[in-house]
Every structure is written in C-alpha cells, then in structure tokens.
Amino acid sequence: MPSYDYHCRECHTWEEVSRSIHDIEEAVSCPKCGSDMSRVYGPVGVVLKGDGFYRNTKNKQAKNFYPESGDSL
C-alpha cells in the first residue's frame, strides 16, 4: 500500500498515512490538535535507463560530433 505524507498547519505535525490507492480521499485529522491535515506532494523518484536519454547519450554524441585533431572530415 502506498504511504502519503500529511502536514498540520496548526501545530506543524507531520504524519505518514498508508492507504489503498482505491480508498476515497478522506480528511485526515491531526493526532495532536485534531484539526484537518493537508496532503503534501513531494518529488517522484524516476530513473531513466537505457539509450536515448540525455544523461546517457550526451557524451557519446559529443565524441561523435566533434572529430579529434588530425582526423579528416
């Protein structure tokens, strides 16, 4: 089950809640003060693997594009 981070704006408490992706989004109450908590969206970890991505091919393309000194065009 995925876990989601929630933040209380009143008392600045952080809470991690695990719930099914199929559950209806319900309000989460702060365990300390009882007020509603806001869901915090963070960055998604994505790793690009294989050929065709900028990070993997930029050095290969640069070597092929710029001929070495003494090479004929």
Residue ranges of the domains in the chain?
3-65
Question: What's the first-to-final CA gap in the chain, in angstroms?
Answer: 58
User: What is the value of pTM for the model shown?
Assistant: 0.55
**For residue range 1-40, what is the model confidence (pLDDT) as tens digits?**
788 899 999 999 999 988 887 877 788 899 999 999 999 9
Beta strands in the chain (DSSP E): 3-7, 14-18, 28-29, 36-40
**For residue range 33-52, what is the model confidence (pLDDT) as tens digits?**
999 999 998 887 777 776 66
